């Protein structure tokens, strides 16, 4: 492809609007939800059934907090960037049936016992199993409908169940586990209890990722809550710390309520100016072994429809990682298979039963010839495809000599295939900037196919407003790449994680 040189130009892309109830348009999700309700208000409304799993005290915290979401929550200080929360039913048209909340008790004594395990693999594996096994058992044995399970955890689970976490030395710590030598795959012990210990080393040391991964095959939708997130006033003693945390009460309410509505099946908002019959695909890669010389990695794709909803497709594990270039590239057949699954899923969900007219494949690296040939084979006779490389770029800064930093939406069109887009910056609606530092840009490059670079930048700016896991003005990355790392970690949290093509809500 010949690149025609052009004089670089700095332009401003207007803030993309979102569509809410009654087909009304607003820039800020919180404004739109407050005034008009969610986009799918006519399809998803009324009573919802939830479940809560956790120890007794933590479940009580959750119920008290969820009841508070049905009332308005107002910040103590007036701040245009932190608007008040009008209440769950007022904003989303849904309400929780508290007389039918399903509850599963998790033995706090068991949690405290596992928290004493000095081996982090054994500690996290057993803690996540406590919750996962209880949820799977309920799903298989009970008939009560539950749309979303709130998984409420003590703060110590969060503190001591993350990578590199270590418990405090104590006389009552429990030493259990296997030596590095005995953890080797394929080794079998005479005693079955030792073989059972080995399974923990097949999982990543991360409670969140392990739990999500263990529930994929049973299609159980969860929202994990830390006790201090929802009950800090009951737990903390530091008055100054409590006062500071109240600043975020409205933000928490917006985020948790938006996530709840989305995970129940609703669409909170939809992009206004997204072009019809367009599909956006974000590639996800994650090494299955942190050894730098090991090339094996898992590949997956996040597909986002013009409706705003998303699906995750898991590909195969293979030698996709190149230790020299530190880049990931899948083989031709795997690329063909991954895109074929995405196109068929789009057609199934399409109202017209047609393939998308255009597919934009977003990645952080360039596409090599082999994988692109696979994509082309899958799309032949169905869709036009374009390869877009998107990276955070700190090679230069853009300043203006008055007031705040450059506005969000500023774009430097460098060539017909390369542009720098500021997805963070001054936001007129909020009268402030996102973050306190001078923002960096995204480097956006059309590496495969021919398309208008300004249109591609507009798409990326719009896709930075599709995060249903939070209710904020916008993210700094398009949703196609925002969750790529976390999805990859869930898919590789264990060695034999099984998952079908699932909606995006199972991963967040």
430-454 pLDDT per residue, tens: 888 876 678 999 999 999 999 999 9
- Strand 148-153 to 50-54 pairing: parallel
Determine the pLDDT at residue 140.
95
The residues, any chain, with a CB within 8 Å of residue 291's CB and separated by 6 or more, are none
> Could you give the CA distance from residue 332 to residue 473 in angstroms, rounded to a whole number?
39
pLDDT at 186 over 60: no
Determine the pLDDT at residue 495.
76
Determine the pLDDT at residue 185.
56
Write 196-199 long-range contacts (CB < 8 A, 24+).
197/122, 199/125
pLDDT at 3 over 60: no
> Could you give the CA distance from residue 304 to residue 301 in angstroms, rounded to a whole number?
10
Band the pLDDT of 403: cuts 50, 70, 90: low
pLDDT at 277 over 80: yes
Determine the pLDDT at residue 210.
95
Kindly give the residue spans of alpha helices, DSSP state H, lying in 324-368: 332-349
By percentage, how much of the chain surpasses pLDDT 70?
Answer: 94
Of 401, 301, 273, 406, whose CA–CA distance to 361 is shortest? 301
Number of H helices, E strands in the chain: 16, 23
Cβ-count burial 2-13 (b if 16+ within 10 Å, e if not): eeeeeeeeeeeb
Determine the pLDDT at residue 158.
95
**CB atoms inside a 10 Å sphere around CB 464:** 24
Strand partners, 157: none
pLDDT at 224 over 90: yes
CA-derived radius of gyration, the chain = 24
Instruction: Yes or no: say if 82 and 251 are a contact pair by the CB < 8 Å rule.
Output: yes
Mean pLDDT, rounded, for 239-259: 95
CA distances from 221 to 217, 492, 505 (A): 11, 18, 7
Mean pLDDT, rounded, for 74-82: 84
Of 246, 241, 249, 228, whose CA–CA distance to 58 is shortest? 228
Q: What are the pLDDT digits (tens) for 421-431? A: 999 998 888 88
**Which of 43-52, 152-161, 175-184, 309-318 has the lowest average pLDDT?**
175-184
> Could you give the CA distance from residue 32 to residue 44 in angstroms, rounded to a whole number?
17
Three-state DSSP at 115 gives coil
Of 343, 372, 345, 367, whose CA–CA distance to 357 is shortest? 343
DSSP 374: H
> CA 222, 225, 231, 235 torsion: positive or negative?
positive
């Amino acid at each position: 492809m010949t690149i025609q040189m052009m004089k670089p130009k700095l332009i401003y892309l207007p803030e993309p609007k979102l569509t809410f109830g009654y087909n009304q348009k607003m820039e800020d999700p919180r404004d739109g939800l407050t005034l008009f309700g969610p986009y799918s208000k006519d399809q998803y409304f009324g009573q919802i059934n939830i479940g809560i799993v956790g120890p007794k005290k933590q479940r009580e915290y959750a119920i008290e907090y969820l009841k508070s979401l049905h009332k308005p929550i107002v910040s103590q200080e007036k701040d245009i960037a932190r608007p008040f929360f009008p209440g769950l039913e007022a904003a989303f048209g849904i309400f929780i049936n508290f007389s039918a909340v399903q509850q599963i008790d998790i033995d706090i004594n068991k949690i405290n016992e596992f928290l004493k395990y000095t081996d982090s693999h054994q500690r996290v594996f057993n803690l996540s199993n406590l919750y996962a096994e209880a949820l799977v058992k309920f799903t298989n044995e009970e008939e009560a409908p539950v749309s979303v399970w709130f998984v409420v955890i003590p703060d110590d689970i969060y503190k001591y169940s993350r990578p590199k976490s270590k418990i405090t030395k104590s006389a009552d710590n429990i030493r259990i586990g296997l030596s590095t030598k005995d953890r080797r795959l394929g080794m079998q012990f005479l005693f079955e209890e030792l073989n059972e210990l080995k399974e923990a080393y097949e999982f990543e040391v991360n409670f969140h990722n392990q739990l999500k991964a263990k529930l994929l095959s049973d299609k159980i939708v969860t929202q994990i809550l830390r006790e201090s997130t929802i009950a800090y006033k009951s737990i903390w003693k530091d008055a100054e710390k409590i006062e500071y945390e109240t600043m975020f009460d409205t933000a928490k309410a917006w985020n948790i309520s938006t996530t709840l509505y989305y995970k129940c099946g609703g669409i909170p908002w939809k992009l206004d100016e997204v072009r019809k019959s367009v599909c956006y695909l974000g590639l996800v890669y994650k090494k299955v072994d942190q050894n730098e010389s090991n090339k094996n990695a898992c590949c997956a794709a996040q597909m986002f429809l013009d409706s705003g909803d998303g699906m995750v497709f898991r590909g195969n594990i293979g030698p996709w990682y190149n230790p020299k270039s530190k880049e990931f590239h899948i083989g031709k057949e795997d690329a063909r298979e991954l895109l074929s699954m995405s196109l068929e899923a789009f057609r199934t969900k399409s109202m017209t039963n047609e393939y998308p007219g255009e597919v934009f494949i977003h990645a952080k690296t360039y596409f090599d010839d082999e994988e692109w040939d696979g994509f082309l084979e899958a799309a032949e006779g169905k869709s036009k495809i374009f390869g877009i490389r998107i990276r955070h770029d700190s090679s230069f800064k853009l300043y203006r000599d008055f007031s705040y930093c450059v506005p969000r939406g500023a774009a430097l069109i460098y060539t017909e295939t390369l542009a720098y887009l500021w997805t963070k910056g001054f936001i007129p609606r909020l009268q402030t900037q996102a973050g306190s530092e001078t923002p960096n840009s995204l480097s956006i490059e059309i590496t495969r196919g021919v398309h208008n670079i300004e249109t591609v930048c507009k798409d990326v700016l719009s896709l930075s407003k599709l995060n249903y896991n939070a209710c904020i003005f916008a993210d700094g990355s398009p949703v196609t790449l925002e969750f790529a790392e976390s999805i990859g970690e869930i898919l590789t949290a264990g060695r034999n994680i099984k998952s079908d093509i699932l909606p995006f809500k199972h991963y967040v």
